[in-house]
Structure 1
Amino acid sequence: MKFKTFCLFTFLLFCNNSAFAATATSQPGTADDPVVTKSYVDQQIQNALSGKTPSTPSTTTPSTPSTTPAAPADTSYKIVDVKPGQKLMAASGAEFIVRAGKAVIISDAANGVADLTGGQDLTDGTAIYTNHLLLFPREGRGITTQDGQKYGLVVMVRGGYTIQ
């Protein structure tokens, strides 16, 4: 019984004199009051009894990838005005949202453009609903104004595009 009391007293003395002592206002699990495992506490008691210097938990650094990551792409939307008769052609992976005007899809393939809002594939000549998010999987696809429209389009664009 005396040995256990001595161990407890030594441990409490160690905690009070170390950086691991918690302040009265700290929350459990924070840097001021870390949560530790029983094996760590047992190791600290053993070190204190044997006269070894207390050890701090080792931290591992995450492994770094062998290649440098690519620079992040610009993720902001740009407002693009498309005049009647012009074509707004998308780069691969571009996103469009038609905010004003009546637009139709331009596609040189059987598959068209993904309407992510409507959950459908829009083929060449299909009218576009305003405020729907469109994803262009490949180049050679875009949008233009509907025939007879005298006003242009206002389109939010994320990714590469060209106006023709």
Structure 2
Amino acid sequence: MPSRKPKPVALWSLYPALHEDVSVLLAEDGLVFDFHENDDDNDYINEYDTNVMGRFTCRNRGCRSNGWSSRVIPITIRMYPGARYNARVYHQHCRNCDSLSKPRLTDSYAERVAYRLKKWNGIDMEPPQYNGKSKGPHEESLCEGCKNGHCIQSKRGYRG
């Protein structure tokens, strides 16, 4: 009987289901983009690292973690030819058991993605604001964005 290899754990995810939210914000300025689901494609025109907010739930059923919120979930936004985009959202590890978790995102995702696409298309606007402050330090050792060089917390001189 062949042995089963464990499925590789994803270090990041795309969120095509949130495209409609991004589209609504882009339409305010007359922009129309399609979601580009092939993240292996390296023919992007622009790339930008920023962060969004959300909540993680530990996937390890044996873990006692109740989950955690984060105001620093790294994302890499990419714009492709033909008015297409995507945004890679990096996962985080549970502090209690080290299991990797995918976040549930807030509206900050659509706001950040739409803002960046508008900026790349020459629309002058103020950056979206986050309300509230982080309740704890960002732990680089638990953040896949930090490990992959895409987290704003691990980059010097980040200004938003």
Shorter-chain TM-score above 0.5? no
Q: In which range does the TM-score fall when normalised by the shorter chain? A: under 0.3
